[in-house]
Amino acid sequence: MNLIVGLGNPEDKYKSNRHNVGFMVVDSIVGDLSPSNITKSAFKGELYKKSNILLLKPMTYMNLSGESVRAVVDYYKPSKVIVIHDDLELKFGTLRFKLGGGHGGHNGLKSIDSHIGKDYYRVRVGIGRPEEKSKVVSYVLSDFSQKQKEYLDKIVNKAKEGALALCEMELSEVAQKYSMKFDFDKEDLN
């Protein structure tokens, strides 16, 4: 069993935020696979199942994502946990894959680390960062720019393909095949 987790915040007002790109990817997978909805209140999130794949959207808000992940991990004991999240350290249009590592100040990852440890796969979706550090919170909780939205479907699709590939393939193979970095002709899209 493989668990794919998309990080984000519930409520419609957050739906198109940069911080919700993990939800966007999981929603895209759900749309493609038409899995069974197996949500239970104990899981603290929306949970879907198709074959050997579980798809989770924690409904605990970002800072408590680990509670939901832990509940599903304890119940299903997946062999792989794959977390899809926004990453300030990567420019918009960049997609990277890794196993373990630090949280980089990401509160969703921090929460997951505290509940299940750091030994899980990460699909890192670059969102760029604001010039001023003091604006990070408002930046991640704002929507993608109009220019960024033109490329967002392509990025979400590639992240979706990579996350599903991680269920079957080795990390090095997935990273080689699905990592991406758009060349925007030096145009700043952040």
Split at pLDDT 50, 70, 90, the class of 174 is very high
Which residue of the set 19, 85, 103, 106 is catalytic? 19
According to DSSP, residue 82 is labeled E
**Arithmetic mean of pLDDT, 62-91:** 97
Residue-range domain boundaries for the chain? 2-181
pLDDT, one tens digit per residue, over 15-50 is 999 999 999 999 999 999 999 999 999 999 999 999
Q: Is 85 a catalytic residue?
A: no
Q: What percent of the chain shows pLDDT beyond 90?
A: 93
| pLDDT(189) > 70 | no
Q: What does the pLDDT read at residue 72?
A: 98
**Arithmetic mean of pLDDT, 73-82:** 98
CATH code assigned to 2-181? 3.40.50.1470
Q: CA angle 36-166-101, nearest 5°?
A: 115
Q: Which residues are CB-contacts of 85 (< 8 A; sequence separation ≥ 6)?
A: 7, 21, 22, 106, 108, 109, 122, 123, 124, 125
